[in-house]
A and B are shown apart, each in its own frame.
Chain A
């Protein structure tokens, strides 16, 4: 957990924290799988909703709404003791029955039951990662209030919600973990990073998101910038599996032709890390074994072994300022290797520049989620060792459905008024620990 400031001066209660975010969710349901997963969306969710357990910076489990847990041998049946004295935002108590109902809703294939002060989860097969799975935001504990509103137990409750536009939150006085220091948080949704920075500079906001390519400039301009570890994979994802050996060979040509270093230096302004693997090295520990260097000679040699190469449409997200430039650089690199790409904003592309957010600090869960995003099944893991994880990741890369490019951090600019900034390595924010001090 990265805490920028410490308590030379004790935290002060009060004030409203004003911030904005690029994302513009239409609903706040943590279980809604149609919403795009991102660090920003998770951090929004965590303000209002909580999970049974959390993962710390090192992937270790920590209690949250569950105080303890145990598995029977075989890791198929898990029991979690539900914390007492916790209340939903409507004042109703958190009960094992409410927890079980929420988890059943989020995981229809799980058998979840309430028993005494606990809940019991039974899986069809051994699941040693089940507690870590419960730390995922989609497994947040929520329920519908009598008015039909989704409510949670988190440190803040909703006071105003305009889908896609604005979210206003107030500190929950009875929060079991202690009332948050700030009284309220005002969040403008769907704001471009440029507009966020202007609001920060004008004193209209205390927190602004920064695109990775802007972070170095923002810091040299004297702004207070904090960054997470790399938590987002930028990758080329093919729309279809390879159909012939020649198709696979052309995909390898494309992978070998990309000059990640130059793209990082120019497009990302030195931000992020070039990568040939799906998981960032700080999560896997072996990411460096996947080559990320350009090898044009080898690419041209392989290209020479294939007679016909179709023109591939390379798509990008029009809301991502860096994506178009990056796609154009890749198109130039590929041309040098004899591959023709056509840059398009059309959704129907052969290969797409895609951002994949790290789902968890737990490598197995993160890899499974990334595989699902890419559209490949996760190879069966024989065990839980780092070697098993490597074999699974290597298996996904062998499908040639994805070409990893960069691992990117999230960056945030802060007003000097923001004290005790508390951010985990994976970009998880703890805004309930933040307080606002006097401005100089």
Chain B
């Protein structure tokens, strides 16, 4: 959700990619993930030596050199591995300062070290007992890193989920701008800018960012759609705002207030008017589905083509799903979430609807369905996300979708490409 805190522009960090590149076979991807995780863990292995040194110095300033008995207790979110490493490091630092570790009955001082933490930092506290007097207390603090974005391995069944991008600011949409086996150019849309990244030397590098100008506050649960074009680079649809890149260089972005309908599909010419101060479509359609020019307010829509007509499926604001075929409107309750898209594939009936699930849990999932008639049939297991899905849009060619979820643990927005994989 896009609360005020998410509109922050203060010290916004340049995001780092932590995802492997998509487009590999599942085995290769798994291998890369394992290697990446190993490298990732290595890269983020904390260096405790300076903190160990500082605490050892403070302890020996009280005890002086000699025999001490050291006990280390973890009262924080540190792992056992880190705790053991810190314990070993601290003993080594103390010995380097002349305080050798012995059994309690042989020690001139006993030192109880607690590895604690507060809201911001790790706090390491040493309670030093010498004789019968009150214990001395010394402590140091060392910064506690933010939890790294949790990388979830893509399942290898029917829906393939490939990580594309992650950042702390809300992601409204992502477009893959090239057609190679693996993306080398992507555009990331957030409420304040569109950023273009290029893969170079195995890392995404920012090529250009273009600010989005708007005069009115954005609504909560902000949504936006990025559409690649052939005669110019892209169009951007935002609540009450339309932006377009020019057809000639240099690349720029021109935004204006607009209530033009948003395209609901790249494959079928149907637009929906979006409520500029809310998070849903008003229900008014342009030009309409057959004779039907409106439906109830909805969050998302997906077309399922039939030989003689196209069935449009709308996820209504009221929790129902509406099926429009140009003549009739059918309202059903399918226990789906608010977001659905359809993707074209070479599997099954050729078109699958990807739908989120309803509910109040900290995770979310997307599942594929087919509509042989008017009743949906689940055709894939659900794939899980580490938080609620905040955006789900079909990509330009219709064969895949972009899903964005907000990681419930880290708060990071993570964008994935979803595609149907046959026989897996």
Contacts and interface: CB of A to CB of B under 8 A. Distances in A.
Q: Categorize the interface residue count of chain B.
A: 35 or more
A420 B1 contact: yes
Contacts of A438: 319
A179 B218 CA distance: 8
A10 interface: yes
B181 interface: no
Given A177-B217, A289-B137, A387-B138, A6 B337 contact: no
Q: B7, B121, B218, B299: which has the most chain A beta carbons within 10 Å?
A: B7
B118 A386 contact: yes
Q: A6, A387, A394: which has the most chain B beta carbons within 10 Å?
A: A6
Contacts of A281: 116, 118
B119 A425 contact: yes
Contacts of A68: 9-11
Nearest to A386: B141
Interface stretch (A121-129, A168-176, A186-194, A326-334): A168-176
Q: B2, B125, B387, B389: which has the most chain A beta carbons within 10 Å?
A: B125
Q: Please classify the interface of chain B as helix (H, G, I), strand (E, B), loop, or mixed, using the class held by over half of its residues.
A: loop
A419 B121 CA distance: 32
B229 to A, nearest CB: 27
Given A179-B219, A284-B123, A13 B1 contact: no
Interface stretch (B87-95, B322-330, B359-367, B369-377): B359-367
B326 to A, nearest CB: 26
B3 A432 contact: yes
A6 B406 contact: yes
Interface stretch (A57-65, A103-111, A299-307): A57-65
B119 A361 contact: yes
A13 B1 CA distance: 13
Contacts of A372: none
A391 to B, nearest CB: 9
Given A6-B387, A390-B137, A176 B4 contact: yes
A178 B218 contact: yes
Contact of B120 (A60, A67, A419): A60
Contact of A289 (B5, B7, B127, B360): B127
B69 interface: no
Contact of B139 (A61, A286, A425): A286
A243 interface: no
Q: B139, B141, B339: which has the most chain A beta carbons within 10 Å?
A: B139
A308 interface: no
B132 to A, nearest CB: 13
A286 B125 contact: yes
B139 to A, nearest CB: 5
Interface of A: 1, 3-13, 54, 56-64, 67-69, 85, 173-181, 281-286, 288-289, 361, 363, 385-387, 390, 394, 419-420, 422, 425, 430, 432-433, 438
12 contacts: A8-B338, A8-B360, A9-B358, A174-B216, A175-B217, A178-B217, A178-B220, A284-B118, A289-B137, A385-B140, A420-B1, A433-B1
